[in-house]
Amino acid sequence: MVDPRRRILLSLLVVLFTVYLAAVSIEAWNGGLGWVHGEIGAAVISAIGTAPSSVDCRG
C-alpha cells in the first residue's frame, strides 16, 4: 500500500511536470525559448504531424 502523503506528492509532481511540458511546448512552438528549444519543439511538432503519413499500411 502506498503512503497517502507519498501519493499526494507524486500526483503533485506529475501535475507540475505536465504543466512544465505544456509551457515548454507552447514556448517552443512560438520560438520563445531560443534556438535549441525552438528546434526541439519544431522536431517534435513535425514528427507528430508526419507520423500518420509516414506509416506504410499497404503491406
pLDDT digits (tens, 9 = 90+) for 3-55: 888 888 889 889 888 888 887 777 766 666 555 555 666 777 676 665 555 55
Alpha helix (H) residue ranges in 31-56: 34-54
In contact, 28 and 40? CB cutoff 8 Å? yes
Q: DSSP letter at 32? A: T
Task: Report pLDDT for 6.
Answer: 86
Task: Report pLDDT for 25.
Answer: 77
How far apart CA 27 and CA 49 sit, in angstroms, is 18
Task: Report pLDDT for 23.
Answer: 78
pTM beyond 0.75, yes or no: no
Neighbours of 23 (CB within 10 A): 11
Q: Spell out the domain ranges in the chain.
A: 4-50
